């Protein structure tokens, strides 16, 4: 009689589960308190069974030991966490761009303490949810799930070692936070900078006007108006950033991961 779950299936499920739990721990939205813990657990478990059965993954237990299992589980967790961390870099770029705009609009002091994200600005929460909207409404999560499936094919299970250049590549990708944030915030920051420059010239030419009282509401109004008119620019650049994320994932999986 064939057992329902063989030892090889149990080990294989633990490895797939370890990679997915590492990925979702580093992945934004899933590593917050927005989703209850039991929902996260059953989602990871369901995805583990889905990938294990549909990809026809197999496991050889001929040279298997408890120490080897520990190394393989740790390796899968690290690989998954690195993949999730790369997505976090892009959402950090959105958040940093919002902080730049908050600085130019004079809203840096208006921070909101949220147990989900910590102490962030109002625009930072707006940009983060805009990133989620692009990710889920634009069906980009389908592409992301297919890349996870490709990771099991290019980074095989059961090999307790990592490529030496994997973390170097992940750290290199973290530098994109600043460049993408400045690209995203530059059009709106330029408008606000010109407003500040105009107010400075008015203050020099007409000292009787209290520029501080007029300037702060004007900066907020111009900033909100620019965001309302230029939200399509944010969406367009967000989609291009996510395309860049897909390219980074493919390179990590096919060239460095295995």
Q: What is the pLDDT of residues 118-175, one digit of tens each?
A: 566 677 778 878 888 887 887 777 878 888 888 888 877 877 677 777 777 778 888 8
| Domain count for the chain | 1
Q: How confident is the model at residue 110 (pLDDT cuts 50, 70, 90)?
A: low
- Mean pLDDT of all residues in 39-63: 80
Answer for the pair 72, 15: CB distance below 8 angstroms, yes or no. Answer: yes
pLDDT at 166: 76
Radius of gyration of the chain (CA): 23
Contact between residue 87 and residue 28 where contact means Cβ atoms under 8 Å apart: yes
38: in domain: yes
Q: What is the pLDDT of residue 70?
A: 83
pLDDT digit string (tens) for 25-48? 877 777 777 778 888 888 888 888
47 within a domain of the structure (yes/no):
yes
Buried b (16+ CB within 10 A) or exposed e, 99-125: bbbbebbbbeeeeeeeeebeebbebbb
Give the per-residue pLDDT at 117: 54
Residue 200 has pLDDT above 60, yes or no: yes
Token pair 């105009």 is found at 198
| 155 domain-assigned | yes
Q: How far apart are CA 30 and CA 26, in angstroms?
A: 8
Q: How far apart are CA 14 and CA 155, in angstroms?
A: 16
Predicted pLDDT of residue 112: 57
Q: Supply the pTM of this predicted model.
A: 0.76
Q: Indicate whether 2 belongs to any domain.
A: no
* 230 found inside a domain: yes
Domain that holds residue 253: 7-257
Domain annotation covers residue 1:
no
Per-residue confidence band for 219, with pLDDT thresholds at 50, 70 and 90: confident
| Residue at 42 is within a domain | yes
Beta-carbon count within 10 A of 147 CB: 17
In the predicted model, what is the mean pLDDT of the chain?
78
């Amino acid at each position: 009689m064939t057992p329902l779950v063989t030892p090889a299936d149990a080990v294989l499920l633990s490895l797939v589960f370890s990679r997915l739990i590492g990925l979702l721990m580093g992945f934004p939205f899933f590593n917050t308190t927005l989703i209850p813990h039991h929902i996260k657990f059953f989602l990871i478990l369901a995805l583990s069974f889905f990938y294990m059965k549909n990809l026809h993954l197999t496991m050889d237990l001929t040279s298997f030991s408890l120490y080897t299992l520990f190394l393989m589980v740790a390796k899968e967790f690290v690989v998954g966490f690195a993949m999730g961390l790369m997505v976090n870099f892009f959402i950090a770029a959105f958040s940093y761009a919002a902080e730049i705009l908050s600085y130019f609009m004079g809203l840096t002091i208006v921070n909101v303490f949220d147990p989900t994200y910590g102490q962030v600005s109002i625009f930072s929460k707006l940009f983060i949810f805009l990133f989620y909207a692009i990710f889920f409404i634009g069906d980009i999560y389908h592409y992301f799930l297919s890349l996870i499936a490709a990771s099991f094919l290019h980074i095989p299970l059961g090999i307790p070692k990592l490529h030496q250049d994997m973390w170097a590549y992940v750290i290199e990708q973290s530098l994109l936070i600043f460049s993408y944030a400045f690209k995203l915030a530059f059009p709106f920051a330029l408008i606000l900078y010109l407003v500040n420059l105009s107010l400075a010239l008015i203050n020099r030419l007409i000292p009787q006007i209290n520029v501080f009282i007029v300037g702060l509401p004007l900066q907020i109004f111009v900033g909100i108006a620019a965001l309302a008119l230029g939200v399509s620019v944010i969406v367009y650049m967000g989609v291009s950033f996510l395309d860049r994320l897909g390219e980074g994932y493919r390179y990590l999986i096919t060239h460095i991961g295995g």
